[in-house]
Structure 1
Amino acid sequence: MANTGLTTTATAPLGEARTQDAFATIKKCVTLFGVVGVIVLGVVAVTTFAGQEASAFMWIRGVILVAVAPLIHRMTVRASQGSYKDFARVRTLSATLPIAIVAVDLIPGLCPAWYAVLQGLSAPALGGVALITRGSSLRAAFPARK
């Protein structure tokens, strides 16, 4: 493996089929998260142009969640190359973001129900990532640090 500046601490070979299949699934889930975010932002734009009011919160949150998807995807790629730091970040973000998305959606009056539902549809994709990053193949590739 060429020295790419990544800290490789994996004990199981990252080239193992199970491990790379897990990372491929994670990449698909993160892509799905991003696609749902783009759809939400598109719906906000269409409703705004149709004359309905969209709050600054809806625009800002929509843009942030769309912007986060490529960052998580890049972290996933780096993790698949052996970066424990990026693996830990993906693992943490995939566990906390769905909770944060749903929790904010439950705040009364913050956003319309249709917006909360659409944003909530992105949470299961990251929830899947959280489950996969805690699976046996990735736990073996990235053992817990003490």
Structure 2
Amino acid sequence: METKNTGTDPKTTADRTLLELPGTRRAFAGVRTAVKLYGSLSSVALLVVAGAALGGEPVNTFMWMRAALLPLLALVLWRKARDASRGSLPAFGRVKALAHVMPVAVVAGDLIPGVCPPWYAVLQGLCVLPVVGLAVLTRGPALRAVFPGRRARPTPAGR
């Protein structure tokens, strides 16, 4: 006999009462704002790259791919943040992981000599600033209370 997942599995769902706390709601409002801002900035960056290309500036494949992929990541972040705000532990883990990895990946990619012009690196750096804020929010006390991290397992006596 097959059972349906009702979304109440403590391994995958946060405590609903904690989701309703004012601090948690404020934290998720900040998460939504950060994701919206990131999506807006990365979309503007795509338009700037398109404008530069139309204006005769040299725009390479790396710049086009990065400028196109980052707004798409905003959609992924938005969806996962929405699911996390509804209590999904896996979605929160993904938001947290992306928020911590994306700024490093973007800045590191832009620092590779000869890959992109300085104006593009600055533009991309500005785009990921809201993601840095998102990383701070995901490590804040309000969301840590709702989504406690993995704790070290107690070792049995005698080991």
**What band does the TM-score fall into relative to the shorter chain?**
over 0.9
Specify the alignment match of 2:77 in structure 1: 72
Match of 1:128 among 130, 133, 137: 133
Specify the alignment match of 1:55 in structure 2: 60
SS of the residue 2:19 aligns to = coil
Distance 2:118 2:105 in 1: 16
SS of the residue 2:114 aligns to = coil
Larger CA Rg, structure 1 vs 2: 2
TM-score, normalised to structure 2, is: 0.85
Match of 2:92 among 87, 102, 111: 87
Instruction: Give the unaligned 5+ runs of structure 1.
Output: none
In the alignment, structure 1 residue 104 sits paired with structure 2 residue 97: no
> Structure 1 vs Structure 2: percent identity of aligned residues?
42
Instruction: Give the unaligned 5+ runs of structure 2.
Output: 1-5, 152-159
SS of the residue 1:110 aligns to = coil
Any runs of at least 4 consecutive aligned residues in structure 1 with deviations exceeding 6 A, and if so which? none
List per-residue Cα deviations over 1:15-60 (Å, max 9, x = no partner).
1111011011111111111111111110111111112221011111
Distance 2:112 2:97 in 1: 23
Distance 1:5 1:106 in 2: 45
Distance 1:130 1:104 in 2: 19
TM-score, normalised to structure 1, is: 0.92
